Amino acid sequence: MRDLIYFDGPLLTQYVNDHGEHFLYYWCDRDDVSHRWMLVRVAEQTILRLLHRFIPLDFVIPAGSQDDFVYFVDVMSGGDIAAVWLTKIARVPDDYRPVRGTFVQDIPRQTNAGYPVLIEGDWNASKLLEFPKLFELTYSFLYVANNLLSERCFGGYHWRGGYPAMHFNRLIASIPTEKRLEVRAIQYQSPGFIRFSVDYDIAEKVAMSVEDIRSEGVQSSYRELTQYIKQHRLTDIGDPDAAIWEQHNVHLLRLVEDVARDLRAVDAGAIITGSERAFEAAQIVRWFFRRIAEIAAFEDNGLLKFAPIEA
């Protein structure tokens, strides 16, 4: 149970019973001896859409009920129940309905319930495999960068294409078991959701990066870094200790800082610390950009929506 709207007492409360059914208690009225509550049984994905602020409260109460009726409960000041009755949705008084267009604000995060991502549209089996893997890669990278950073922890000569296979299992293995990403639930329907068991703050950093990557500053800096690497054919230099790197290291590090500057979840200093060389740092930030861009494409194509990021 958690209170979703509070003003001198709870006005909207979420409750889950032992059978996993979700209910919303909505305060409607009071007199000298009791408070009147409307009790509505709703789908979990409906609550998620409400809390993600994609639908207003009046779309859910009472219209979002899974039944064609709602319960009304009169509760005495001491907590005793004075009366309970059913009312057809069509007969719920207007005075008991939320104001149209009202969105729920400032919801306390239920971090122990996992991090939910809404999914919509046409999801085939390959997408259901691809998105969680992308989320795991970016989440794990950010977790290590924020919590387990050490010199050269990202390792790997040049971060070539084998990075995930060669290094990522080791990187994930360094994360405490309780903080590793796991898919806790998938509700596949439109709208549905995927819920991850994660460190909630780090999961929000993934969503934050998806938001940030659309900025022209990040896009421009990434293009400049990529063009510099191609122009000087840096991927063709086989010797990591070749003297020619001295001509590029300072400029590469500046470009890494430029890309990271507008990515709030990415600390250029952390990437540089965890990298063996300047070129590895450049390849790492480019790798992260591409993975986040792939996640952003899911959102741009209307397949998923992230929760609003709390300040």
pLDDT of residue 134: 95
pLDDT of residue 103: 85
Q: What digits encode the pLDDT tens for the residues 285-301?
A: 999 999 999 999 999 99
pLDDT of residue 114: 82
pLDDT of residue 269: 94
Instruction: Decide if 39 contacts 71 (C-beta within 8 A).
Output: yes
CA 300, CA 270: separation in Å to the nearest integer? 29
Q: What digits encode the pLDDT tens for the residues 10-37?
A: 588 888 888 889 999 999 999 889 999 9
Instruction: Decide if 74 contacts 83 (C-beta within 8 A).
Output: yes
Sheet strand arrangement including 81-88: 2-6, 10-16, 22-30, 34-42, 69-76, 81-88
Q: Which two tokens stand for residue 170?
A: 């080791």
| Owner of token pair 């063996």 | 276
Instruction: Decide if 117 contacts 304 (C-beta within 8 A).
Output: yes
Neighbours of 227 (CB within 10 A): 11
**Of 295, 290, 225, residue with least CA distance to 253:** 225
Amino acid at 185: A
pLDDT of residue 162: 53
Largest Cα separation within the chain, whole Å, is 85
Could you write out the DSSP letters of every residue in the chain? Answer: -EEEEESSSEEEEEEE-TTS-EEEEEEEEE-SSEEEEEEEEE-HHHHHHHHTTSS-GGGTTTTT-SSSEEEEEEEETTS-EEEEEEEEGGGS-GGGSPPTT----SPPP-GGG-EEEEE-S---HHHHHHHHHHHHHHHHHHHHHHHS--TT-S--GGG-TTHIIIIIHHHHHTS-GGGS-EEEEEE-SSSEEEEEES-HHHHHHHHHHHHHTTSHHHHHHHHHHHHHHHHTTGGG---TT-GGGGGTHHHHHHHHHHHHHT-TT--HHHHHHHSSSHHHHHHHHHHHHHHHHHHHHHHHTTSEEPPPPP-
pLDDT of residue 8: 42
Low-confidence residues of the chain: pLDDT under 70 = 1-10, 106-113, 155-168, 310-311
pLDDT of residue 9: 43
Phi, then psi, of 84 in degrees rounded to 5: -140, 135
CA 4, CA 301: separation in Å to the nearest integer? 30
pLDDT of residue 238: 81
